[in-house]
Amino acid sequence: MINALVVTKDEESGKTSASVEAIDESRLPDSEVVVAVDYSTVNYKDGLCIGPGGGLVRNYPHVPGIDFAGTVEKSTDDRYKPGDKVVLTGWRVGEAHWGGYAQKACVRADWLVPLPKGLTTRQAMAVGTAGLTSMLAVMALEDHGLEPGHGPVLVTGAAGGVGSVATAILAKLGHEVAAVTGRPETAEYLKSLGASQIVAREELTEVSRKPLEGEAWTGCVDAVAGAMLGRVLKQMKYGTSVAAVGLAGGAAIEGALITPFILRGVNLLGIDSVMQPYKNRVRAWERIASDLPMDHLDAMIQNATLSDLPGLGADILKGKVRGRVVVDVN
Ligand code: NDP
């Protein structure tokens, strides 16, 4: 028997409920690699899958957990053998497929990445999808010309998971980081991660009808979208880029005009971590191992167990989780 967080749905009311259950291992999906899970984490999507589902979960009962790290126990694929340390993020694991909120998982070999040298499975889950996505965003900005020394890089939703890791990586790479937060009490935390400037959320949430605003930012990692992304695009310096990662503030880009693109050559770069090709995933994990200061990562961690997940899932949907949660599933 293995412990797992199982979400069930009442067909009549449509309501879901989540609790820790001991389940028989034979209930795991039939796939190529069985992993003894050490740790998982909590992302915004996990909040949806633990709770209302958000259209992401296909079948109930369901085991959520979009990320996990652990040790291979059995494998029918030559690339992995028992004892190998592995990480999984994305591929709709924890949504359409059973995920990492259990002591074991069974997944396709293609979905796994070897644990990068220099990281423990706990650190890998402190990074998780949120951190991988931050690194992919930074890499995309660099591929489009971002270099230190040309002015501040803006990070929105900075005290959240994606924002915290992006702040720490950019600061370590020598960038001046301006962190946007709606939680003024996180200012010291954000400065400890390397932010040199705190921008109040309210400064960027009013929709502007102006075609352009003063040029302020040399790059941006945006986890918020909504009115904030509409404003930020108009404040980008000539020829710079915004990496659009999330939609914590809404799925539309409110007040957006074409002017920043055609008058300032601003780029809007879409970042997806879920279907990211293997080669770029490995490159991003290697960059995380080299460019994310581990003492800063430790400062972001909140420890949790499987039984804490229903509460944490609700908290992350309300924007109340600071930094990264590491879930010890054992
Ligand atoms: P978190 O909840 O940890 O962080 C989101 C942060 O956004 C909050 O902490 C808050 O930051 C800010 N925020 C929340 N609500 C609002 C609002 N209404 N207006 C403005 N700011 C707001 O989530 P994650 O960091 O895990 O994920 C962030 C986003 O990125 C989500 O939308 C998620 O779905 C998406 N995502 C996308 C991925 C991809 O592959 N593209 C992968 C991972 C995540 P503060 O308190 O500092 O203001």
Given a cut of 90, whether residue 26 has pLDDT beyond it is yes
- Cβ neighbours of 52 (radius 10 Å): 17
- pLDDT, residue 15, reads 92
The CATH number given to 2-115+299-328 is 3.90.180.10
pLDDT, one tens digit per residue, over 303-316 is 999 999 999 999 99
Q: Which atom of ligand 1 is nearest to the CA of 323?
A: 3
Q: How far apart are CA 238 and CA 214, in angstroms?
A: 11
Q: How confident is the model at residue 299 (pLDDT cuts 50, 70, 90)?
A: confident
Angle between helices 278-291 and 161-172 (to 10 degrees): 60
- Mark 31-46 as b/e (b = at least 16 C-beta within 10 Å): bbbbbbbbbbbbbbbb
- Mark 287-312 as b/e (b = at least 16 C-beta within 10 Å): bbbeebeeebbeebbeebebebbbeb
Regarding the beta carbon of 272 and ligand 1, being less than 6 Å apart is answered: yes
- pLDDT, residue 285, reads 96
Q: How confident is the model at residue 11 (pLDDT cuts 50, 70, 90)?
A: confident
For ligand 1, atom 36: residue with the closest CA: 246
Q: Which atom of ligand 1 is nearest to the CA of 250?
A: 18
Asked if CATH classification 3.30.460.80 holds for the domain at 128-270, the reply, yes or no, is no
- Six-digit token string for 278: 């293997």
pLDDT, one tens digit per residue, over 79-115 is 999 999 999 999 999 999 999 999 999 999 999 999 9
Distances (CA, A) of 242 to 257, 275, 329: 15, 20, 36
Q: How far apart are CA 204 and CA 143, in angstroms?
A: 27
- pLDDT, residue 243, reads 98
For ligand 1, mutation pick of 245, 268, 320 (most atoms within 8 Å of CB): 245
For ligand 1, atom 4: residue with the closest CA: 160
Given a cut of 80, whether residue 54 has pLDDT beyond it is no
Regarding the beta carbon of 246 and ligand 1, being less than 6 Å apart is answered: yes
- pLDDT, residue 213, reads 97
Given a cut of 80, whether residue 209 has pLDDT beyond it is yes
CB-count exposure of residue 323 (10 Å: 0-12, 13-18, 19+): buried
Mean pLDDT of 66-74: 98
Tell how strand 112-114 and strand 153-155 pair up: unpaired
Q: What is the mean pLDDT of the chain?
A: 96
Mean pLDDT of 273-279: 95
- pLDDT, residue 281, reads 96
> Locate tokens 């590491």: which residue?
326
- pLDDT, residue 53, reads 79
Regarding the beta carbon of 130 and ligand 1, being less than 6 Å apart is answered: yes
Regarding the beta carbon of 319 and ligand 1, being less than 6 Å apart is answered: yes
pLDDT, one tens digit per residue, over 127-170 is 999 999 999 999 999 999 999 999 999 999 999 999 999 999 99
